[in-house]
Every structure is written in structure tokens, then in C-alpha cells.
């Protein structure tokens, strides 16, 4: 049968993560492609969920999410950021951050509305708007420092810089900090500039903060805490990265009640509700003492340092991440220029899988020489991957 996929999804194909993970399985290479830890999160959290599986609740959770989870999310936002939320009306549980972002776009967007995304972008910031019938306007973050170009952002807010016919202001901005894939943490001055553009153009900000607890070198500041932003910001997060439980797909969206109600309106017809027993586990996880959050961050910082040292030793120019799960390199330092071809050949050449960052850029010329490696892996796995990369260099 010919390709029957809907037109709006034609350009997306299989995600780069699926493609690269399949390559890792086929070749037996070390998978530093997809961002999942190779050690599961806290056993006490798994135990709480296991108990809920054995003893219930095992029937549909409320559409807004288990009360315990909504309460825990509200308490978490107050404890870490001083954000006050009503768990009844300002918290929506979702099936991962991915569903939260999709539900926000579907619940608030009208066909043709424009969404500003910073590139490189997490891939669902392209597919999500497409599924909701929205258009994407990208603003490039360029290596080596991935700094914010405020003028480019203002231009994108006013009208589509790439389409002279589209003179409408944008309606949404998606911000991801700490950022995948670069590990950039948007600093306060950059956030102030973004907030000013949101206020000037009346944008709704959708903030993906799934790496909020993995900020190593700079403070993570939620955009919602800046002046005039609480009423126009939806904050999206999830348990996967913070608690090394990416397979659970427990996420949440918080913000002003009318915006959260619009998210809920879409979410109820996507999945209705999430996984009740797992929501119990994450309600427990969110209330763990500071020592857990500090320990998880410090352990990941150590892995960041380890992988970056290994990549540098292999001759790769590392664009050092400030947070998150990933380190990006510029392969021109080893005489290569095409990250896509490099990643396709890497399992064969070195027995390692990485992801070409160009998959997250509309402007291919900027992203082509960049390659992303995940460091959320056991130390011996990181060391072995680094050794293989160094050997490849030595042997090439």
C-alpha cells in the first residue's frame, strides 16, 4: 500500500531516536543516542507504585490526575520556586511532558496560529504544532554558545521571517530550559528579554522544564516566575528525567486556571487520564527530601564531566552543557562536517551510537556538524564509549 500517513505528518517519518536506538540494537553498539538512564530510579518510588498496583487504585484515575499527584506537584512548585498553585484548577497530570505539550497546543491553538520554537528543538515541538494545524517559526540558537538573538525573536513574534505573506503575530512560544540537545540554561537576562517579547506580543509561553533538577552550572529559573508571566505561562514537566523513570511517562502541566482548563479540554480526549498507580509513585517521589534532588544532580554533573573529558580526549570539540542529559560536539574538529553521515557510520566505525543534531534544526547548515551524546549512563559505559571514540580517531 502506498504511504497513507496524513499530509501533516508526512515530513516527520520515524523519530530520530527510534531510528538510532534500532541501529544500536542491530549493531550491538553502545547507545548514547536516546536520553534514558541505564539504571532505574529510586527503589522506594518503585515500591510505592508496586504497592498501588497490588492494592489499587487500579481503575481510571481522575482526568485531572490523582489528587495525591496534583497536590505533590503544587507543593513541589512552591518548595522549589515559590509558585503558589491550586491543585484543583492549576495542575493537570499528563502522559509525560510530550502529551502535556500536545494538549496545550491542541487545547489552545486555532488553525494557522504560529508557534515560535528555538532551534535546535526537541522534535515534538515540530510535530506537535503540525498535528494541531499550527505553523512553526524557528529562531536559531547558534553554536558555540547558543546565545539568544533577541532581534530574531522579536521578528518571529511580529510575523514569519521566512514567509513575507504571513504578517500575523505569533500566539505561542515554546521554551525549553535546561535545553535539549545543547544543555544550555537560559540565564536571567535572556529570560527577561523573552518575557518582554511575550508581554509585548501577548504570547502564551509553553515552558518545557523536564530537566529542571539537572542544572549543573547555573540556576534554573522558571519563566513563570518573571514579572507578568504567571498569567501567560504553562509550565510542563515530568518525572522521567528527574527520577530516572523515563518509561513511566508521568507528566504535568501547571499554570493559570483558564489555560490549564484548555489543556484539560484536549487531554480528556487524548488519553482521558494517565497511569494511576504510577501517579501514586511520583506523588511520593516529588516529596522526597532535598538530598535526593541534590544527589541526582551531582551524580549527573559527574557524568557530564566524565563524558566531556572523554569526548575531548577523542579530539572532539565539546560545546559544554550546563545541564540536562546530553553533550553536543562539533565534528569539524576531527575533519568531519556531516553529522548525519557521521552518526550513520559511527556504530560500524566505533561501536557507538549518537544523534545528529541537524535533525532538530530547520536551518540545516547550522546544525549539520553537530552531534549529541547522552551521558545519563553508567560510568563504565561512558568510559568504554569514550575509549572507542578515541581509538577510532587514533585508527583513522
Ligand X SMILES: Cc1ncc(COP(=O)(O)O)c(C=O)c1O
Nine cell digits for residue 147: 546565545
Stretch that binds ligand X, among 75-83, 136-144, 243-251, 300-308 (CB under 6 A): 243-251
Q: Taking CB under 6 A as the rule, does residue 208 contact ligand X?
A: yes
Q: Taking CB under 6 A as the rule, does residue 172 contact ligand X?
A: no
- Per-state percent for the chain, helix, strand, coil, to nearest 5: 45, 15, 35
Which one, 34 or 90, has the nearer CB to ligand X? 34
Stretch that binds ligand X, among 91-99, 129-137, 150-158, 260-268 (CB under 6 A): 91-99
Which one, 258 or 272, has the nearer CB to ligand X? 272
Which one, 246 or 328, has the nearer CB to ligand X? 246
Q: Taking CB under 6 A as the rule, does residue 251 contact ligand X?
A: yes
Indicate the SS3 state at residue 162.
Answer: coil
Which one, 277 or 351, has the nearer CB to ligand X? 277
Q: Taking CB under 6 A as the rule, does residue 210 contact ligand X?
A: yes
Q: Taking CB under 6 A as the rule, does residue 104 contact ligand X?
A: no
The closest alpha carbon to 313, from 324, 329, 299, belongs to 329
Q: Which position among 16, 24, 31, 35 is part of the footprint of ligand X (CB under 6 A)?
A: 35
The closest alpha carbon to 276, from 5, 62, 34, 87, belongs to 62
The closest alpha carbon to 117, from 65, 78, 152, belongs to 152
Please check whether residue 240 is in contact with residue 96, taking contact to mean a CB–CB distance below 8 angstroms: yes
The answer, yes or no, to whether the previous bond of 181 is cis (omega within 30 of 0) is: yes
Least gap, CB of 96 to ligand X (angstroms): 3
Question: Which of the residues 358 through 377 are near ligand X (CB under 6 A)?
Answer: none
Please check whether residue 395 is in contact with residue 350, taking contact to mean a CB–CB distance below 8 angstroms: no
Q: Which position among 71, 90, 98, 138 is part of the footprint of ligand X (CB under 6 A)?
A: 98
The closest alpha carbon to 367, from 333, 315, 329, 395, belongs to 329
d(CA 380, CA 369): 27
Which one, 180 or 254, has the nearer CB to ligand X? 180
Q: Which position among 180, 182, 235, 254 is part of the footprint of ligand X (CB under 6 A)?
A: 180
Binding region for ligand X (CB under 6 A): 35, 96-98, 122, 176, 180, 208, 210, 238, 240, 246, 249, 251
Amino acid at each position: 500500500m502506498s504511504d497513507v500517513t496524513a499530509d501533516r505528518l508526512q515530513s516527520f517519518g520515524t523519530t530520530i531516536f527510534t531510528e538510532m536506538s534500532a541501529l544500536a540494537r542491530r549493531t550491538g553498539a553502545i547507545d548514547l543516542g536516546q536520553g534514558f538512564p541505564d539504571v532505574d530510579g529510586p527503589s522506594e518510588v518503585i515500591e510505592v507504585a508496586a504497592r498501588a498496583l497490588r492494592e489499587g487504585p487500579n481503575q481510571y484515575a481522575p482526568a485531572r490526575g490523582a489528587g495525591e499527584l496534583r497536590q505533590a506537584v503544587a507543593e513541589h512548585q512552591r518548595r522549589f520556586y515559590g509558585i503558589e498553585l491550586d491543585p484543583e484548577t492549576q495542575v493537570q497530570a499528563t502522559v509525560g511532558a510530550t502529551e502535556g505539550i500536545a494538549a496545550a497546543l491542541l487545547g489552545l491553538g486555532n488553525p494557522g496560529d504560529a508557534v515560535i520554537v528555538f532551534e535546535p528543538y526537541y522534535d515534538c515541538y515540530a510535530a506537535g504544532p503540525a498535528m494541531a494545524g499550527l505553523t512553526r517559526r524557528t529562531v536559531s540558537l547558534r553554536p558555540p554558545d547558543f546565545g539568544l538573538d533577541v532581534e530574531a525573536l522579536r521578528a518571529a513574534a511580529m510575523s514569519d521571517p521566512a514567509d513575507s505573506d504571513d504578517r500575523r503575530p505569533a500566539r505561542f512560544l515554546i521554551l525549553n530550559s535546561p535545553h535539549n540537545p545543547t544543555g544550555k540554561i537560559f540565564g536571567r537576562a535572556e529570560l527577561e528579554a523573552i518575557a518582554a517579547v511575550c508581554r509585548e506580543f501577548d504570547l502564551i509561553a509553553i515552558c518545557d522544564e523536564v530537566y529542571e533538577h539537572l542544572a549543573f552550572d547555573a540556576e534554573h529559573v522558571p519563566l513563570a516566575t518573571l514579572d507578568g508571566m504567571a498569567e501567560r505561562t504553562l509550565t510542563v514537566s515530568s518525572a522521567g528525567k528527574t527520577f530516572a523513570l523515563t518509561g513511566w511517562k508521568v507528566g504535568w502541566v501547571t499554570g493559570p486556571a483558564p489555560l490549564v482548563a484548555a489543556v484539560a479540554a484536549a487531554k480528556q480526549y487524548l488519553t482521558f487520564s494517565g497511569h494511576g498507580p504510577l501517579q501514586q509513585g511520583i506523588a511520593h517521589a516529588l516529596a522526597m527530601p532535598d538530598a535526593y534532588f541534590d544527589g541526582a544532580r551531582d551524580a549527573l554533573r559527574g557524568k557530564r564531566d566524565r563524558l566531556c573529558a572523554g569526548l575531548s580526549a577523542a579530539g572532539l570539540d565539546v560545546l559544554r552543557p550546563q545541564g540536562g542529559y546530553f553533550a553536543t560536539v562539533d565534528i569539524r574538529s576531527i575533519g568531519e562536517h556531516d553529522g548525519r553521515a557521521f552518526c550513520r557510520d559511527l556504530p560500524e566505525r566505533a561501536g557507538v551510537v549518537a544523534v545528529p543534531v541537524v535533525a532538530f534544526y530547520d536551518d540545516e547548515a547550522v546544525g549539520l556538524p553537530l552531534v549529541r551524546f547522552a551521558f545519563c549512563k553508567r560510568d563504565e559505559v561512558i568510559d568504554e564509549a569514550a575509549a572507542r571514540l578515541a581509538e577510532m580517531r587514533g585508527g583513522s
